[in-house]
């Protein structure tokens, strides 16, 4: 599972994790935070996936770099390494990407529960996991 917003660290079960605006945690109890850490240098408003490709996530918000790579407000990132996928044109105009822009792009096939923003907006939904090997996102699940 993934969470995005504006934060620099989180605390879970007495452990503090340094995470910059995006994190991943397991979908089952005890819901542990994963080592995945893309390190986004600004607010992340949304996260989405394309088709059955859960190996990469698309994030949008108000930032200039992800995992040390220049990215202007939008980026495709690896769900296993957190690195920017450089073949994606990772630059948006001056308007940040919002939850509304990402909402229709979250496919049922990705099977990863998603919420975005400082709190889940009304009407936000989650895709539920189904057995589909192509959508098993490594460390991020």
* CA–CA distance, 126 with 132 (Å, rounded to integer): 17
Residue located via tokens 């792009």:
105
Which range, 11-15, 93-97, 103-107, has the best average confidence (pLDDT)? Answer: 11-15
Closest to 46 (Cα-Cα) out of 32, 65, 63, 25? 63
Taking the C-alpha atoms of residue 110 and residue 134, their distance in angstroms, rounded to an integer, is: 9
Mean pLDDT, residues 104-110: 39
Distance between CA atoms of 58 and 29, rounded to whole angstroms?
26
Alpha helices in 61-115 (DSSP H): 99-102
Q: Beta partners for 96?
A: none
> Rounded to the nearest 5 degrees, what angle is found at the Cα of 103, between the Cα atoms of 114 and 71?
80
d(CA 30, CA 69): 32
| Bridge partners, residue 59, by sequence | 47, 75
Q: What is the pLDDT of residue 28?
A: 87
The whole-model pTM stands at: 0.65
pLDDT in tens, 24-54: 999 888 889 999 999 999 999 999 988 777 8
Sorted by where each begins, the domain ranges of the chain are: 2-133
pLDDT of 91 reads 64
Residue 26: other Cβ atoms inside 10 A: 14
């Amino acid at each position: 599972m993934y969470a995005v917003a504006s934060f620099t660290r989180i605390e879970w079960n007495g452990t503090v994790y340094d995470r910059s605006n995006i994190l991943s945690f397991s979908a089952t109890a005890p819901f542990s935070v994963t080592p995945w850490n893309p390190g986004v240098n600004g607010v992340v408003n949304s996260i989405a996936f394309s088709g059955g490709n859960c190996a990469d996530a698309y994030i949008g918000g108000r930032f200039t770099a992800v995992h040390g790579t220049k990215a202007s407000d939008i980026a495709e990132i690896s769900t296993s390494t957190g690195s920017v996928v450089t073949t994606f044109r990772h630059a948006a105009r001056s308007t940040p990407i919002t939850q509304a822009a990402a909402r229709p792009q979250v496919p049922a096939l990705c099977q990863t529960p998603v919420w975005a923003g400082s709190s889940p907006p009304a009407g936000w939904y989650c895709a539920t996991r189904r057995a589909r090997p192509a959508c098993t996102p490594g460390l991020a699940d």
